[in-house]
Amino acid sequence: MENMDEAVLKELAEKGEIANSLEFMKAHKFEPKTFDGILKSLLVDNYVVLTNHDLEEIDLTEEGAKAIASGSPEFRLVSMFKPGEEKTRADLAKLMAKDELQIAVNKAMQNKWISSSKTAVKRVAEDVKDEVVQRLTAMKADNDPKKHEAKLVQELKKRKLIAIKKIKFYGIVKGASYQPKRVPEVADLTAEMLSKGTWEGVKFKKFNVAAKGKEISTGNYHPLYQMKDEFRSILLELGFEEMPTSYYVDSSFWDFDALYTAQQHPARDMQDTFFLTEPANCNRIPKELCENVKRAHEGGSYGSIGYRYDWKMDEAKKNVMRTHTTPCSARMLYELAQTTAKTGVFTPKKYFSIDRVFRNEATDVTHLFEFHQVEGMIADYNLSLKNLMGIIAEFFKRLGISDIKFKPAYNPYTEPSMEIFGYNQELKRIVEIGNSGIFRPEMLQALGLPEKVSVIAWGLSLERPAMIHYKVGNIRDLIGHQVPLKFMKTNPVFCLP
Ligand code: PHE
């Protein structure tokens, strides 16, 4: 096979230019893709300069080719009549296929070749000439649409007898580094070239710094987890320690009872909570703690009158998918109380966690039955609501949310309780971003903490700020099995302001 580089360079040496790359390619029987590659590489090395051209060509359709071979439908129809002859419509239907017959009758009428009534068709013209075929033949002979009357081209195109094809080609002239023969470029400088001095005569390939690297297919860190890491660093910087949270299944005792949530509380309904069927119950609840919690609920201890009902162990034993991470905080406080009792010394603590929680609720674009909760708490003497508001403001300030507002709220385990609101730039309105409060003495003292110790705490979802940050309108695009892989692969590394 003829060398493509050489053929192009030789033609340029002889004629100065190649006006139409396509014709040149056809004349030399070059394969289009390879030839295009060769042209691009000659262009990159400045051997040639390419100019883009567009060209339109008439292409006969299958229908058009058929017409040339056996006549246009109208001509074939009329040819089946003698001049003056009449045929009924029923007879006509036997002559041609329905679609074709309709076109043929319409066109023959337009040409005044036939006249038609409701029931019959009559040939009225003596001589008929198949002009459509004449035109198609002319277009086949010269397929440049500009050489034919535009109206005729349009008409035949409309009848789908021809199509207009767009052809792209190049004009080729010599480039700044043109040479009649291509000097092969060498990619690597070798020790031999250096020792023999042959490097001097060699043309080296230029580095193509604009070349795209190979796409690397790797695992990607999920954007939600990038956000989790950012939250984590902020809390670590603020001096919080991470709590263990790695149990998704917990007893109702820790999820509700230890958090001073009455056994009739609506949150403990099947509508809101996933209860486990296997194993349905937990049998590892500390006995003494159980007694304390029972007393707190029923009343008459820790300076409280309680809820005044019969607390039932059976209810507390029921296993659930944890509905929040606050039971993890309760376990930590219980541990802290035990250490305090053992050592006689209470050590103030700041704890946080970020992990998954589960709720049995209807899903929509902002709700899923599993999501992440960010939980924080501080246990110390003399903590007030002011301390709680202060630490929350500082935490959100570091997240880039400065204008936060508090609204009184209710939680069974905190008093006072406050919902936290922040201004969302995207939505241009205030949205709820968290919940907080001071843990009730009924809860803390049942866990065994010294009377004077207070615990301030707050919790928020990880998904809500993440949706705002990544501009994700549907929570299912952020977490769960429907997350598009592209979202993970193309997301820039998340950085807080
Ligand atoms: N557990 C609460 C929730 O699920 C958050 C919270 C944590 C509220 C700690 C107050 C104190 O929304």
Mean pLDDT of 237-247: 95
pTM over 0.85: no
Mean pLDDT of 223-227: 87
Find the radius of gyration of the CA atoms of the chain.
Answer: 42
Mean pLDDT of 314-319: 97
Ligand 1 mean position, distance from CA 361 (Å):
17
pLDDT at 497 over 50: no
* Closest to 240 in 3D by CA, of 338, 389, 347, 378: 378
CB within 8 Å of 439: residues ≥ 6 apart: 333, 377, 413, 414, 454, 455, 456, 457
Mean pLDDT of 50-63: 94
CB within 8 Å of 54: residues ≥ 6 apart: 166, 167, 168
pLDDT band at 216 (very low <50, low <70, confident <90, very high): confident
Ligand 1 mean position, distance from CA 344 (Å):
30
Mean pLDDT of 377-396: 95
pLDDT at 413 over 90: yes
Contact call for residues 422 and 404 (beta carbons, < 8 A):
yes
pLDDT at 110 over 90: yes
Contact call for residues 404 and 460 (beta carbons, < 8 A):
no
pLDDT band at 493 (very low <50, low <70, confident <90, very high): low
Q: What pLDDT, on the 0 to 100 scale, is given for residue 240?
A: 98
pLDDT at 494 over 60: no
Strands, E assignment, 325-482: 349-358, 370-381, 405-411, 414-424, 429-439, 453-461
Ligand 1 mean position, distance from CA 497 (Å):
26
User: Is 376 touching ligand 1 by the criterion CB < 6 Å?
Assistant: no
Nearest CA to ligand 1 atom 9: 458
Ligand 1 mean position, distance from CA 414 (Å):
9
Nearest CA to ligand 1 atom 6: 459
Distance from C-alpha of 389 to C-alpha of 417, rounded to nearest angstrom: 11
Mean pLDDT of 310-338: 97
Q: What pLDDT, on the 0 to 100 scale, is given for residue 496?
A: 47
pLDDT at 376 over 70: yes
Token readout for 176 is: 């700044």
pLDDT band at 403 (very low <50, low <70, confident <90, very high): confident
Among 117-121, 138-142, 253-257, the minimum mean pLDDT is found in: 117-121
Among the atoms of ligand 1, which is closest to the Cα of residue 323? Answer: 4
